[in-house]
C-alpha cells in the first residue's frame, strides 16, 4: 500500500504536456471531449452552446434511476476496505460514490488534464484517500495486481477493448472483480438517435458501442459473474411532463424488469452491466 501511494504521488506530478506527447489522435480527441463535458467552463473557456451540444444526450440519464441504484448498492457491498480503480472516471461521480463507501484507496484515472484537476479540487480535498491521475487505460502506469476492484462506467467503448481488457486483468489482484456499465449497440431506435447527435460522442466511441461479442472477449480473460440489462421503456419517460414523470418512470422500470428478463429481447436495452472476476 505504501509503495502504491508513493507511485500515485509520483503520477500526480506528471506534466500534462509530456503525457499527451505520444498519444494517438483518437485519444487527443477523447481529451478534448472529456474536458468539454466534465471540466468547469471557467477552466475550458467553452461556450454554453458548445457544452450543450456535446452533452446533448445527458437529459436521458435522468431516467436511469434503476441502474444507478444497482451500481450504488454494488459499490457499498464490494468496495469497503478495498483498493478500487475507477478507469476513465470522467467527472468523478462514481469515484466519489466509491470514496463514500470507505475504501482503503480509490484511484480515478483520466486522459484529460483539466478533468483530473477539477476532480482533485472537488473530491480529493474531501476524501484524502481519493487520488486522480493522468493515465491511459490501454497502457496504465499503475503496477501489476494493485486493485481489488475495477469499475468502468461508460469507458470500454472509448478504448481498444482487447488491449484495455488485458490491462484490466494485469491491474486486478487474483479474485479481484470488475464492474462495467455500458451502452448496448443493437436497438435500431437508439442507434438512430446516436446518429442524430454526433457532437455528443467522439468518432471512436460512436463506432465502438459494445455488444455481446465484446462482452465475450472480456470473458475470455476474466470469468463472467453476471450480465444484466437495463432500460428499454423507461428511457421514454423523459418525454413525459415533469409533474407525472416520476410515476411514469416507476411504471416503466417495472415493465423493463419483466420484459428485459426475456432472452434476445434483452438485446434491445439501452444499457447493460457486466461483472467479472479474475480467477488466475
CATH fold label, 2-277 = Rossmann fold (3.40.50)
Residues 182-237 have pLDDT tens digits of 999 999 999 998 898 888 889 999 999 999 999 999 999 999 999 999 999 999 99
Instruction: Examine the pLDDT at 123 and tell me if it is beyond 80.
Output: yes
Q: What is the reported pLDDT for 220?
A: 96
Q: What is the reported pLDDT for 65?
A: 94
Q: Which of 227, 224, 93, 87 has its CA nearest to residue 163?
A: 87
The three three-digit cell numbers of residue 159, written as one number: 478504448
The answer to whether 34 and 110 have CB atoms below 8 angstroms apart is: yes
Q: What is the reported pLDDT for 198?
A: 85
Lowest mean pLDDT among 147-151, 156-160, 198-202: 198-202
The answer to whether 163 and 142 have CB atoms below 8 angstroms apart is: no
Q: What is the reported pLDDT for 100?
A: 97
Q: Which residue has the higher pLDDT, 211 or 56?
A: 211
Mean pLDDT calculated for residue range 233-255: 94
Amino acid at each position: 500500500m505504501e509503495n502504491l501511494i508513493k507511485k500515485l504521488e509520483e503520477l500526480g506530478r506528471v506534466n500534462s504536456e509530456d503525457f499527451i506527447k505520444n498519444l494517438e489522435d483518437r485519444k487527443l480527441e477523447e481529451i478534448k471531449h472529456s474536458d468539454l463535458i466534465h471540466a468547469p467552463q471557467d477552466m475550458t473557456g467553452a461556450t454554453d452552446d458548445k457544452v450543450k451540444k456535446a452533452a446533448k444526450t445527458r437529459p436521458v440519464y435522468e431516467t436511469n434511476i434503476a441502474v444507478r441504484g444497482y451500481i450504488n448498492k454494488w459499490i457499498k457491498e464490494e468496495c469497503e476496505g478495498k483498493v478500487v480503480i475507477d478507469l476513465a472516471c470522467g467527472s468523478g461521480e462514481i469515484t466519489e460514490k466509491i470514496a463514500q463507501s470507505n475504501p482503503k484507496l480509490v484511484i480515478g484515472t483520466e486522459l484529460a488534464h483539466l478533468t483530473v484537476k477539477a476532480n482533485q479540487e472537488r473530491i480529493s480535498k474531501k476524501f484524502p484517500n481519493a487520488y486522480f491521475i493522468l493515465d491511459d487505460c490501454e497502457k496504465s502506469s499503475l503496477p501489476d495486481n494493485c486493485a481489488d476492484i475495477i469499475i468502468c462506467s461508460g469507458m470500454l467503448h472509448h478504448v481498444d477493448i482487447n488491449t484495455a481488457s488485458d490491462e484490466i486483468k494485469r491491474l486486478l489482484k487474483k479474485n479481484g472483480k470488475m464492474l462495467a456499465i455500458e451502452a448496448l449497440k443493437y436497438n435500431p431506435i437508439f442507434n438512430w438517435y446516436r446518429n442524430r447527435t454526433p457532437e455528443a460522442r467522439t468518432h471512436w466511441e460512436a463506432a465502438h458501442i459494445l455488444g455481446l461479442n465484446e462482452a465475450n472477449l472480456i470473458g475470455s480473460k476474466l470469468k463472467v459473474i453476471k450480465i444484466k440489462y437495463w432500460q428499454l421503456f423507461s428511457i421514454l419517460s423523459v418525454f413525459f411532463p415533469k409533474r407525472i414523470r416520476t410515476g411514469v418512470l416507476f411504471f416503466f422500470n417495472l415493465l423493463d424488469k419483466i420484459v428485459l428478463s426475456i432472452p434476445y429481447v434483452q438485446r434491445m436495452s439501452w444499457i447493460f452491466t457486466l461483472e467479472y472476476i479474475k480467477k488466475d
